[in-house]
Chains A and B, each alone.
Chain A
Amino acid sequence: MVDEPPAIELRGLARYFGERTALRDVSVRVPAGATLAVLGRNGAGKSTLLRILAALLRPHAGDVLVFGEPLPRRAFAVRGKLGLLAHEPLLYRELTGRENLEYHARLHRVGRERVEQVLQAVNMERRADEPVRLLSRGMVQRLAVCRSVLHEPQLLLLDEPRANLDPAASDLVEPLIGRASGCTRVLTSHDPRAALAEADLVLTLKDGRVVYLGEPGALSDSELEGLYA
């Protein structure tokens, strides 16, 4: 019997921005269907890691394999399987929410009915014909969630996914980006305890280096607090 490759495998990953080290010697395996929480202070390298996994940034050293495909060389093979919810919503401000989602749906060869389905899921169908620039941050974040899951990705890269969402809106997006979505997930959060609650694996970063990699239950409160001290 052949073992299924992990959804994500990083070996000795490094990335620099000029003289600054954003990530150094990061190695991790994430099984399919699992959730990896990436924690660390601002500038620890969390967003850089997500952008490398999304094939938007090149690693400067090490191997990155997503669904067994090496990135960025085989990025084309995994693009349709990835969904990225980034800090920026990746929506055009002058277009309406529906126009934005229809544009992304066409790029991903997804039908219009899926657009309506995700809009209904986040309760945005009545505001979907207003330009994005007129919507509140929470509404824009709900549309960004719709965009990231429109093509039903197998791997969700979630950078602060619940930023700007009130508890009700957070509950609305849960079936799309939460554990119930069934996707492999990599998530960062400004609320480490909330992230730990939904993680199978935790990776903590400090100045681009791995401080802790393991199960969330084994991470002590003092280690967690030390990370943000």
Chain B
Amino acid sequence: MRTALIVLRKDLRLELRTFETVPAMVLFSLVTFVIFHFGFNRATIDGQLAAGVLTATLLFAAMLGINRLFVAEREQGGFDAFLLAPVDRSAMLVAKAAGLFTFLALLEVIAIPAFGLFLLGPSLGPALPGLILVLALADLALAVIGTLVSAIAVQTRARDLIGPVIGLPLLIPALIATARAMGPLLRSAHASSAPPGKWLAILALYDLVFALLAYAVFDFLLED
């Protein structure tokens, strides 16, 4: 855990210094909302449609962060320097996943109110506690799979392609569960303040299984 915190602190400092990843993710999300707004030719959307739009937008914004997650390690020798230190390699997985989770949370702090403003019909207020719970579980799934996929992709020449090609199919179950869990929260009439337990449970189980899987295989991904 100590090593993971050291790497995470370094990653957050690098992001604060460069402002490369989070601003790009935010800008992408805002532009996508505007495109959906005009594309649907509707003032507002709600329910399952709104949940689908929000899920897809956050997913594709996350891909920007996923593609850049290990670039500094690869291009500036961070992998080698880390592997030369007498530390547990899994700390890199924990640090990168925590970093991506933080980036996604920062993105959502801006993107969710913007979504409420540009597209969503019903007020966000009553849905917010349930939405935060669903997004936290969804972000965990994106962070774990994103870190795993990014660690594979960065070793290849076609890293910008490998991330989406491997990551998106792996994320399908989590994305379905996220959209289904958010749908009832974003309805105009009879909106629920709590997300459906079944989909939350599926998301939580997905997070657990893939976190364990990532922990088991990550060491091998850092091997030459």
Contacts and interface: CB of A to CB of B under 8 A. Distances in A.
A58 B77 CA distance: 18
Interface stretch (B6-14, B143-151, B192-200): B6-14
Contact of A107 (B3, B17, B18, B72): B3
A90 B80 CA distance: 7
Given A106-B6, A107-B3, A91 B76 contact: yes
Interface in A135-169: 147
A211 interface: no
Contacts of A131: 17
A95 B13 contact: yes
A94 B17 contact: yes
Contact of B80 (A76, A84, A103): A84
The B contact surface, by secondary structure, is helix
Interface of A: 54-58, 76, 79-80, 82, 84, 86, 88-95, 99, 103-104, 106-108, 131, 147
B10 A103 contact: yes
Contacts of B87: 107
Contact of A79 (B6, B17, B84): B84
Contacts of A58: 223-224
Contacts of B86: 76, 79-80, 108
Nearest to B5: A106
25 contacts: A55-B83, A56-B83, A56-B224, A57-B224, A76-B86, A79-B83, A79-B85, A79-B86, A86-B77, A88-B76, A88-B80, A90-B81, A91-B77, A92-B10, A92-B14, A92-B78, A93-B76, A94-B17, A95-B10, A95-B13, A99-B13, A103-B6, A107-B82, A108-B86, A131-B17
Nearest to B223: A58
A93 B6 CA distance: 18
A131 B13 CA distance: 12
A95 B77 contact: no
B14 A94 contact: yes
Contacts of B78: 90, 92
Contacts of A94: 14, 17-18, 72
B81 A104 contact: yes
A104 B224 contact: no
A93 B13 CA distance: 12
Contact of B84 (A56, A88, A95): A56
Given A58-B223, A90-B80, 17 more contacts: A54-B80, A79-B84, A80-B85, A84-B80, A84-B84, A86-B80, A88-B80, A89-B77, A90-B77, A94-B17, A94-B18, A107-B3, A107-B6, A107-B82, A107-B85, A108-B85, A108-B86
Contacts of A54: 80, 84
Nearest to B81: A90
A103 B87 CA distance: 13
Interface in B48-105: 72, 76-78, 80-87
